[in-house]
Amino acid sequence: MLIPKNSLRVGASVGALLLATMVPAFAQEAEAVAEAVETVAAGSGVSEETAYVFNTFLFLVCGFLVMWMAAGFCMLEAGLVRSRNAATICLKNISLYSVAGLMFWLIGYNLMYGVEEGGYLGTFSMWSAGGDPSAADGYAAGSDWFFQMVFCATTASIVSGTLAERIKLWPFLIFTAVLTGIIYPIQGSWEWGAGWLDAEFGFSDFAGSTLVHSTGGWAALMGAIVLGARSGKYTVDGKSNAMPGSSLPLATLGTFILWLGWFGFNGGSQLALGSVVDANDISNIFINTNIAAAAGVVSAMVLTQILYGKVDLTMALNGAIGGLVSITAEPLAPSIPLAAAIGAVGGILVVIFVPLLDRLRIDDVVGAISAHLVCGIWGTMVVPLSNGDATFYGQGVGVVAIGAFVSIVSLVLWLVLKFTIGIRVSAEAERGGLDQSELGLVAYPEFVK
Amino acid sequence: MLIPKNSLRVGASVGALLLATMVPAFAQEAEAVAEAVETVAAGSGVSEETAYVFNTFLFLVCGFLVMWMAAGFCMLEAGLVRSRNAATICLKNISLYSVAGLMFWLIGYNLMYGVEEGGYLGTFSMWSAGGDPSAADGYAAGSDWFFQMVFCATTASIVSGTLAERIKLWPFLIFTAVLTGIIYPIQGSWEWGAGWLDAEFGFSDFAGSTLVHSTGGWAALMGAIVLGARSGKYTVDGKSNAMPGSSLPLATLGTFILWLGWFGFNGGSQLALGSVVDANDISNIFINTNIAAAAGVVSAMVLTQILYGKVDLTMALNGAIGGLVSITAEPLAPSIPLAAAIGAVGGILVVIFVPLLDRLRIDDVVGAISAHLVCGIWGTMVVPLSNGDATFYGQGVGVVAIGAFVSIVSLVLWLVLKFTIGIRVSAEAERGGLDQSELGLVAYPEFVK
Amino acid sequence: MLIPKNSLRVGASVGALLLATMVPAFAQEAEAVAEAVETVAAGSGVSEETAYVFNTFLFLVCGFLVMWMAAGFCMLEAGLVRSRNAATICLKNISLYSVAGLMFWLIGYNLMYGVEEGGYLGTFSMWSAGGDPSAADGYAAGSDWFFQMVFCATTASIVSGTLAERIKLWPFLIFTAVLTGIIYPIQGSWEWGAGWLDAEFGFSDFAGSTLVHSTGGWAALMGAIVLGARSGKYTVDGKSNAMPGSSLPLATLGTFILWLGWFGFNGGSQLALGSVVDANDISNIFINTNIAAAAGVVSAMVLTQILYGKVDLTMALNGAIGGLVSITAEPLAPSIPLAAAIGAVGGILVVIFVPLLDRLRIDDVVGAISAHLVCGIWGTMVVPLSNGDATFYGQGVGVVAIGAFVSIVSLVLWLVLKFTIGIRVSAEAERGGLDQSELGLVAYPEFVK
């Protein structure tokens, strides 16, 4: 029976009109029906398939923004290391992004999202391409996979900066492979895979202050402890020697890239665009993300001006990152003033913790532990101020559990690497620069004095 | 009364079919109904909620592109200053973007958009988060806010380059705060807030040749006059000494970033994506924006080749920017050839005005006054050629009114800053570079001869 | 006859309900109707106009990503040339992008897409602005134009790197004008314009491994042969002297930009977003594109480690590009493991072909011939492994036909330019650097030793 689409519609209307005039007695019942129809119509303002496309496109657009953060970390770190190590840090950054993508595909994704509700880890099975295209989730499985993959890579990016200028290339990449294939996915499964932290403690981490940034920070901290400081960084009487970065404009560029990418990081974590509510929420996330970063810059500038009489550019840059990390656990619920305050404290924490770590002789070349780990904890603990579903207790459990797990596994792994293949270049290689010893080339062959 | 959605639809169809066969007498009336239904169906091709999501996403995507322009200005300026001032200009750029965001939130937005129709300024009230989520405007209020905020920040970015290498950090930031919190919003309210310029003179400035670029340019010009030229820039016999920028590749990168961001700047100024008409318009805006920039590059190259026998890279870069600024007042209405012509003239204006300003001993480190102010005026005055709603008179009134307002307020503010806290570093600090005196560090510690 | 939308709907529903209860005898027929209605409803999940907006926005977003690749090529090349040629390569990159846009508008587009089915070239007529806004194609004609234009520009970007450090500016731009206005569009018409390669041989090149990358590569190869190697590059006894690039961090940044842009390049080549199927496909394209690049990086790293005992950063960067080019001919059909394998081979090809070309004394400053031409052929020939519509024969015909056409026309053009206006700077100018001789300035005036 062939029924042209238009005749159906028209026919229906005709039927309606006729009946509406023919059978006035049914008017009351008609009103009840009208309301029901109204409801249906309002709910279908964005059709399921249209929402599917919106949600998928959100993942792809935000995903490419987060992918771009890999370049941001690369430029930030290339600018903050000395020129003799700049090519090596570039190689580490592009290769860690590559390794992260491959490992997350090989085992990470299923380990993270194959977890049972309330469980402790997913399955060890290789991911099959594309997923179910007609998934009832309301988005293309592949777009979600892409978005989650770039998050995994971000975690690895955090580590490279801290350990720059002294770690060997291949051991670093082995650590990266384990971090992105196993460590990150397991702890991620506890919360974003709907595992025990989510199910039992109501732990809340919207876009990953803890799951991404603290995780990277803990892994970096353990690496810094096992690896030791750069030679000459700390004098015997406890002083810290400045080892200024080779290109502050590149470091600034990297920070701007990270800031840009963070709109994807936090905005995409809404996980849906296909409704008025989602569109409103993502807009507010953009505002809060931006205001927290701005407040982090200003607070770091003001504090360094007060403490040192001068503003330090690298502190302002890390202030931006600190503000961004701080708002990442809950970029949606806070009012704008609260978001500004959360970010401002992030900027202050960076200014306090960078010299503090130096006093502890923990050598973090780019300040990543302060910006990502410390601000990640701060951002996570402050969620209950604006999000009624989170509790300080639950947040604390999450911070401690993930911190303990990531730290212990990372520590063991760093130690194993240290006492097997070794993780540190020779003192001579360090003096001459890793570009020469590890790569056999020079980042800026014509520039250096 | 519970009515499953599908049964409703099916029922309706059945009713229609039955009636269509049962009551042929009503056929004629049915046809009239058919047409009405057709109209309704065509009009609702993009549902209101779907359009809402489209419009919001347009603001967010174009907004992050415009945010990215802050990095473009930063790289352009870092590449065009001498290395001893490169870190300072980076700090100025990331902090001005931060200050702009905070000030626009604190007072700017309401001052700009809280204006009555035909009025002269909005209200002095702090903005409340997110706005009405079910706004009848057809987009998330927050997404519009974000988009307007990055425009405000762009205005401030224009100023930093002109005044580089000699202005103190904090007075510059105080000026930025007033510019972005008060000056920009007030003049913006006259047009985009539907104030007097829009209501009484039909002034037309699609994406801000005058409201953003000339405004930034006037503020920069007044600053350059009050601040004076860099020491050694002009000799007593009126000659101008070249002070070549430290990294032309970074300056080129900055220009490419600006070019990319401009698609968001002009495209997003359509303010809607959720209809076929809007999609068509934005596509044409992308084409015109690109062709104007391309024409600006080529015209600047050809003219410098003719005038000087060699092509100047910095002129080609400023030619791109000049072309982009020129098309910004009306990127939609012009045909492609007209857009190319408008952009080409922009490139020529830059090549003419950069040395002209030098002859007037107005020291503009990056050529921002030529590219943003001069081309901004050009682009605004040429709108009536393609947009029948604009008149040369109305455009002239807008250019003069905004120019006078911004210039006078900026001049007073620069003078107040000069004679209170001072705006210029000492001659010694200038010689040694602002990085050393203002920040106590060096942008490229290993590179400089 | 005015019929409010809601009353229509409600009326229809009432009619339906009444009839459904009044006339149970028609139940069986109703079921048949129900199925038909179901089908119609499912098919219209994304309305035509909504799909139109989606498709258009895909072109614009992916188009700006591909535009951004122009900056990627610029940074890659600026980082891989010696500093004395860095400003010139920047100028070439921004001007070739400008020229490409203008030429594609002037004649290229119609030459490419005005072709008859199965034909050999389109029409020589200037493109008229914007196209038909109500095009039945389901997207804004202007958005497609923008997307195709940036592809044309990409082709030209490939040439500049190979010929750097010795070619004159204006002859290069003349070649660019012919390449983007005539050569690229004609061969493009054969396949994407639905010409003879598409119609008769079922040639398949999803996003341009051959049409864009090999085309650029062939043009570059012919240029390199006619132009000759840089002086001092090859010794009389056949050895190749390393001429290390001036800034490997900039080269890395360029590679990251290209990687990011490639999501637009391959993703946008789906040419539609407005359906569930398209959303799924683009998601899988993103995954395959990323995994191929990642595999290219890793395979190039491992191979250089094995061959030379050290990892070469520039090989890793070109490995990423090689992987990306390799997957470009078919980024949708391959499974993820196959995509990884295709990309990995791309990385290996780069490591093999870069020294091989040197042994042939073909001087390719940035390795573009290996990454774009060789991997472009590889990627095209491997399409039949996953795409059943393609044949090795058809692919071979396409590779040979386009290769022959582009090579011959390019060769003739390079020779004509060589023997008329000349294409090579003087030996003295080459020694001193093209920045000095062609532009009269220095890219990094303060840095060079």
- Note the pLDDT tens digit of each residue in B104-137: 999 999 899 888 889 998 887 766 554 554 555 7
**For residue C422, what is the DSSP state?**
-
pLDDT tens digits, A76-97: 999 999 999 999 999 999 999 9
B273 touches chain C (CB under 8 A): yes
Chain-centroid distance of CA C379 in Å reads: 13
Q: Which residues pair with B240 in a beta bridge?
A: B234
B180 touches chain C (CB under 8 A): no
Residue C348 has pLDDT above 90, yes or no: yes
Q: Which residue of B has its CA nearest to A296?
A: B98
Predicted pLDDT of residue C301: 98
Predicted pLDDT of residue C125: 72
- The shortest C-alpha distance from C152 to chain A (Å) reads 23
Is the Cβ–Cβ distance between C313 and A172 less than 8 Å? no
pLDDT tens digits, A212-252: 999 999 999 999 999 999 999 999 887 999 999 999 999 99
Q: Which residues pair with B424 in a beta bridge?
A: B167
Phi and psi at C219, nearest 5°, equal -60, -40
SS3 of residue B39 by DSSP: helix
Taking the C-alpha atoms of residue A234 and residue A229, their distance in angstroms, rounded to an integer, is 8
- Contacts C295 to A, Cβ<8 Å: 98, 102
Residue B362 has pLDDT above 50, yes or no: yes
**For residue A99, what is the DSSP state?**
H
Give me the mean pLDDT over the B222-248 stretch: 95
- Residue carrying structure tokens 């899988």: C284
Predicted pLDDT of residue B237: 85
Residue C439 has pLDDT above 50, yes or no: yes
The band of A326, judged by pLDDT with boundaries at 50, 70 and 90, is very high
Q: Best residue in C6, C37, C91 to probe B by mutation, most B CBs within 10 Å?
A: C91
Residue B333 has pLDDT above 50, yes or no: yes
A99 touches chain C (CB under 8 A): yes
pLDDT tens digits, C330-346: 999 999 999 999 999 99
CA-based nearest residue to B19, from A7, A33, A38 = A7
Residue C11 has pLDDT above 70, yes or no: no
Predicted pLDDT of residue A135: 57
A132 touches chain C (CB under 8 A): no
- Contacts C36 to B, Cβ<8 Å: 13
Residue C117 has pLDDT above 80, yes or no: yes
Predicted pLDDT of residue B32: 41
The band of B43, judged by pLDDT with boundaries at 50, 70 and 90, is very low
The widest CA-to-CA distance across chain C, in whole angstroms, is 100
Taking the C-alpha atoms of residue A259 and residue A319, their distance in angstroms, rounded to an integer, is 11
Residue A261 has pLDDT above 50, yes or no: yes
- Contacts C95 to B, Cβ<8 Å: 297-298, 301, 316
Q: How high is the mean pLDDT of chain C?
A: 89
Number of Cβ within 10 Å of residue B34's Cβ equals 17
Give me the mean pLDDT over the A375-398 stretch: 97
Taking the C-alpha atoms of residue B234 and residue B220, their distance in angstroms, rounded to an integer, is 19
The band of A205, judged by pLDDT with boundaries at 50, 70 and 90, is very high
The band of A115, judged by pLDDT with boundaries at 50, 70 and 90, is confident
- Contacts B30 to A, Cβ<8 Å: 10-11, 14
Q: In percent, how much of chain A has pLDDT > 70?
A: 88
Predicted pLDDT of residue C143: 95
Q: Which residue of A has its CA nearest to B246?
A: A249
Residue C318 has pLDDT above 60, yes or no: yes
- The shortest C-alpha distance from C22 to chain A (Å) reads 12
List b or e across C40-53, with b for residues whose CB sees 16 or more CB atoms inside 10 angstroms: beeeebbbebbbbb
- The shortest C-alpha distance from C105 to chain B (Å) reads 9
Give me the mean pLDDT over the C91-106 stretch: 97
Taking the C-alpha atoms of residue C329 and residue C383, their distance in angstroms, rounded to an integer, is 7
* Of B6, B45, B245, Cβ closest to residue C50: B45
CA-based nearest residue to C60, from C134, C153, C142 = C142
| Least-confidence region, from A123-137, B166-180, C374-388 | A123-137
Give me the mean pLDDT over the B268-277 stretch: 96
Residue B86 has pLDDT above 50, yes or no: yes
B287 touches chain C (CB under 8 A): yes
Interface size between B and C, measured as CB pairs under 8 A: 262
- Residue carrying structure tokens 């294939």: A181
Residue B398 has pLDDT above 90, yes or no: yes
- The shortest C-alpha distance from C4 to chain B (Å) reads 9
CA-based nearest residue to B111, from B43, B47, B189, B33 = B189
The band of C45, judged by pLDDT with boundaries at 50, 70 and 90, is confident
For chain B, the chains sharing at least 3 beta-carbon pairs closer than 8 angstroms are: A, C
The band of C444, judged by pLDDT with boundaries at 50, 70 and 90, is very high
Q: How high is the mean pLDDT of chain A?
A: 89
> Is the CB of A10 less than 8 angstroms away from the CB of B37?
yes
- Contacts B313 to C, Cβ<8 Å: 87-88, 90-91, 439, 441
Is the Cβ–Cβ distance between C259 and C71 less than 8 Å? no
Predicted pLDDT of residue C225: 98
- Residue carrying structure tokens 């415009």: B66
> Is the CB of C8 less than 8 angstroms away from the CB of B37?
yes
A32 touches chain B (CB under 8 A): yes
For chain A, the chains sharing at least 3 beta-carbon pairs closer than 8 angstroms are: B, C
Interface size between A and B, measured as CB pairs under 8 A: 257
CA distances from C292 to A137, C78, C303 (A): 27, 25, 16
Predicted pLDDT of residue A406: 98
Predicted pLDDT of residue A127: 63
Q: Best residue in C152, C439, C444 to probe B by mutation, most B CBs within 10 Å?
A: C444
- Contacts B264 to C, Cβ<8 Å: 64
> Is the CB of C297 less than 8 angstroms away from the CB of A23?
no
> Is the CB of C283 less than 8 angstroms away from the CB of A130?
yes
CA-based nearest residue to C124, from C149, C104, C145, C107 = C107
Query: Which CATH architecture best describes the domain C54-124+143-233+245-447?
Result: Orthogonal Bundle (1.10)
> Is the CB of B3 less than 8 angstroms away from the CB of A36?
yes
Give me the mean pLDDT over the B363-379 stretch: 98
Predicted pLDDT of residue A136: 59
B426 touches chain C (CB under 8 A): no
Predicted pLDDT of residue B449: 61
Q: In percent, how much of chain C has pLDDT > 70?
A: 88
Predicted pLDDT of residue A105: 93
Predicted pLDDT of residue A238: 79
The band of B340, judged by pLDDT with boundaries at 50, 70 and 90, is very high
For the record, the structure tokens of B168 come out as 């103190």
Residue C194 has pLDDT above 70, yes or no: yes
Residue B153 has pLDDT above 70, yes or no: yes
- The shortest C-alpha distance from C93 to chain A (Å) reads 20
- Contacts C47 to A, Cβ<8 Å: 47, 50
Q: How high is the mean pLDDT of chain B?
A: 89
- The shortest C-alpha distance from A278 to chain C (Å) reads 18
For the record, the structure tokens of B409 come out as 């307020």
> Is the CB of C295 less than 8 angstroms away from the CB of A102?
yes
- Which are the contacts of B385, defined by CB distance < 8 A and separation ≥ 6? B334, B338
Taking the C-alpha atoms of residue B193 and residue B181, their distance in angstroms, rounded to an integer, is 15
Taking the C-alpha atoms of residue C11 and residue C13, their distance in angstroms, rounded to an integer, is 5
- Which are the contacts of B208, defined by CB distance < 8 A and separation ≥ 6? B151, B265, B269, B328, B329
B35 touches chain A (CB under 8 A): no
